[in-house]
Amino acid sequence: MGHGELWSAQMLSFVIRKNGGGDCNWMDTRDVLVVNPVGSNQVDPDYLESEKRLEKWFSENPFKTIVATSFIASTPQNIPTTLKRDGSDFSTAIMGALLRVGQVTIWTDVNDVYSADPRKVSEVVVLKTLSYQESWEMSYFGANVLHPLTIIHVLRYDIPIVIRNIFNLSAPGTMICRESVGETEDGLKLESHVKGFATIDNLALINVEGTGMAGVPGKLVQYLAP
């Protein structure tokens, strides 16, 4: 479990040291990050226990630069597990919260966050900033910004997230923070109060109604039960 993350962290820390990065080591987050399963596809971080383990890890590994694995963690019983869907972004946000960092940067393959899907809308604009609430709602309703759980864990410590493109370092990216600014990357003010537009594809709406249903329990189960 998590072999790719383990190998990548060790190789990257080696490359950093070899190229003059100096005092660098890698961290197996299974030794630090503790989570409790709360469903088939979701976990809840145990911040208190994770902070204790993180403090112990740093006392034994006093390095200036740390390359930490993502996506993997442990249960309170020290059983290796994963952070499920979008676990890499999720673990980055959790580690940022544990370390109380000034900023979390997530490197991806897109330049910025757009006001809509450019494949569907021709006149999209790049959003310079988004508030935590705006980003959470856009993600919830189908926009490919960040997983909503990622936002929650940086919000508690008011840590901004910057989304950058690892293949285009000149792109400034989009910052997600407490208060957003209504302007594009060019400094132009947005005329509309609507920040973004998102859609959810392949969704069906079933409307069950009728005068004979008022006050009659069990009707929805009758129609929708397999």
pLDDT of residue 226: 63
**Residue 189: predicted pLDDT:** 60
- Is residue 221 situated within a structural domain? no
Q: Tell whether 15 and 93 lie within a shared domain.
A: yes
Q: What is the pLDDT of residue 185?
A: 54
Cα distance between residue 199 and residue 116, in whole Å: 9
Q: What is the pLDDT along the chain (226 residues), one digit of tens a residue?
A: 689 999 999 999 999 999 988 899 999 999 999 999 887 788 999 999 999 999 999 999 999 999 999 999 999 999 999 998 777 888 999 999 999 999 999 998 888 888 888 888 888 888 888 989 888 888 877 777 787 788 888 998 999 999 999 999 998 899 999 876 655 555 556 555 677 888 788 888 877 777 777 667 777 777 776 6
Same domain as 91, residue 110:
no
Residue position matching structure tokens 């069950």: 208
pLDDT of residue 26: 97
Q: Are residues 84 and 129 in the same domain?
A: no
Last residue of a domain, one of 69, 84, 99: 99
Q: Give me the amino acid identity at 86.
A: D
Residue 195 belongs to what domain range? 103-200
Q: Are residues 67 and 120 in the same domain?
A: no
Domain boundary among 82, 99, 116: 99
Domain count, the chain: 2
- pLDDT at 220 (0 to 100): 72
Contacts of 16 (CB under 8 A, 6+ apart): 24, 65, 67
The reported pLDDT for the residue numbered 176 is 93
Do 112 and 143 sit in the same domain of this protein? yes
- Residue 52 sits in the same domain as residue 94: yes
Is 225 within a domain? no
Nearest-angstrom CA–CA distance, 27 and 69? 6
Q: What's the pLDDT at 183?
A: 53
For residue 73, the domain's CATH number is 3.40.1160.10
| Whole-number pLDDT of residue 41 | 80
For residue 108, give the 3-state DSSP assignment: strand
Distance, CA of 145 to CA of 148 (rounded, Å):
9
Q: Does any domain span residue 116? A: yes
**Domain membership flag for residue 32:** yes
CA distances from 101 to 98, 112, 155, 209 (A): 8, 22, 12, 52
Q: Is residue 108 part of a domain?
A: yes
Q: What is the pLDDT of residue 22?
A: 84
The string of DSSP letters for 42-94 reads EEEE-HHHHHHHHHHHHHH---SEEEE--SEEE-TT--EEE--TTHHHHHHHH
Q: Is residue 217 part of a domain?
A: no
Whole-angstrom Cα distance, residue 116 to residue 130? 13
| Rounded CA separation 43/81 (Å) | 10
Are 31 and 121 in the same domain?
A: no
